[in-house]
Amino acid sequence: MATPYTPEVTGGGAKATIQRVGGYLAGMVMPNIGAFIAWGLITALFIPTGWLPNKEFGALVDPTINVLLPVLIGYTGGRMVHGQRGAVVGAVATIGVVVGAGIPMFLGAMIMGPASAYVLKKIDEFTQEKTKAGFEMLVDNFSAGIVGAAAAVFGSWAIKPIVKHVTDVAGNGVEWLIHHHLLPLASVLIEPAKVLFLNNAVNHGVLGPLGVAEAVKHGKSILFMLESNPGPGLGVLLAYLLFGPKRLRPSVPAAIVIQFLGGIHEIYFPYILMKPRLILASMAGGAAGIGMFMITGAGLVATPAPGSIFAYAAETPRGSYFGVFAGVVVAAAVSFAVGSVLLGFGRLAGDSEDPEDGEPEATAEAGEEPAAATTTRTDEAPATETAPHGA
């Protein structure tokens, strides 16, 4: 389906399927980007390590990331499938995976919101023809209530444990790489886990405790920088700023400030969810940064929380400044370079508002048949010209 954030995807095959999945993810997340920015600002300002520490205002942080944002995503996903009724049921279903999870359940919300709305949609199609006149409101209200309650219970019983298990598997994988001295490859697991908002579980649940033990022995630890490096996110956002969809570019500068200076990495995750292939840029940048940390022997004395460049500067021991900042710069440069290529330097951004400027050029660059591009621009093309390419 096409959304204000993603163009219509045509054709079949693995590429089209991935694009459709990315479109659905973007459709659920990007309409709520303002809520993510609001949470990022509150977090950067009022947490104990923020710019204006405030216990009362800082109490807004956890409920917002753990409850409000997942519910908004579930609501939006349900609305995409079945309008307002689907949105309400999607929000109720999302509560089932949110409550008691202890981690941000964005993946659970992306599953339960659309799935519960789809079930309600099918039930509505069945009851619409069989409901007697005058009973429509009664049937509509109770069908939505029953589906929402059942979906919430099912999400709490089945989906929540699965998502938490995925979190544990990601953490165990990172720990295995650490013990086998394959740190750059850790980005292959860390970056996708971050995009699913499991970054805090990976950082504070696995890397933090291991880093503390290493820092006690050696006075610093590279483990503090595996997940918290702001370089990969900065590179992805810069690629978006220069070559991303024009509709989204105005939101990127604020995201850069919040991510790189404020240390709130979650702000760039929705941008990758919109273009899932950009996870490769984040992974490449993270691996390059870790490699530079290893070459220079860099490390921090404690976990930089939040992962701001200022926190990096404050927790860098004497003699490690060059290595720390070199790793951040290299990670950002590699992530930006790979992200720019994946966005086709603007040609593959997917701007739906300027089809005549972007899509045919991107099609031509991708080596598709020129007749197909002609048919998207005009209906006057002779059928005889397109018929040989129809297969």
pLDDT tens for each residue of the chain, 391 residues long: 445 545 455 566 665 666 666 667 767 877 887 787 787 778 767 878 667 889 999 899 889 888 998 999 999 999 999 999 999 999 999 999 999 887 778 888 989 999 999 999 999 998 888 888 888 888 889 999 999 999 999 999 999 898 888 767 766 766 677 677 788 888 888 888 788 776 766 776 667 666 766 776 777 888 888 888 999 999 999 999 998 888 888 888 988 998 888 888 878 888 888 888 899 999 999 999 999 998 888 888 777 877 888 888 888 887 788 999 999 999 999 999 999 999 888 776 555 444 333 333 333 344 444 444 444 444 444 443 433 433 3
CB-based burial of residue 368 (10 Å sphere; 0-12 exposed, 13-18 middle, 19+ buried)?
middle
Sign for the pseudo-dihedral over CA of 381, 383, 387, 388: negative
Supply the pTM of this predicted model. 0.60
Quote the CA–CA distance of 385 and 40 in Å, as a whole number. 53
Quote the CA–CA distance of 144 and 96 in Å, as a whole number. 15
Residues 6+ apart with CB under 8 A from 198: 103, 104, 166, 167, 170
Cis peptide bond N-terminal to 317, omega within 30: no
Query: What are the residue boundaries of the structural domains of the chain, listed by start?
Result: 355-389
- Within 10 angstroms of residue 238's Cβ, the number of other Cβ atoms is 20
Quote the CA–CA distance of 109 and 101 in Å, as a whole number. 12
- Eight-class DSSP state of 3: B
Q: How large is the angle between the packed helices 106-128 and 160-179, nearest 10 degrees?
A: 150
Q: What tokens were used for 378? A: 């005009």
| 260: Cα within 13 Å, side-chain hemisphere | 19
End-to-end CA distance of the chain: 24
- Residues 262 and 285: beta-carbon distance below 8 Å: no
Instruction: Residue 296: name the closest of 220, 209, 211, 191 by CA.
Output: 220
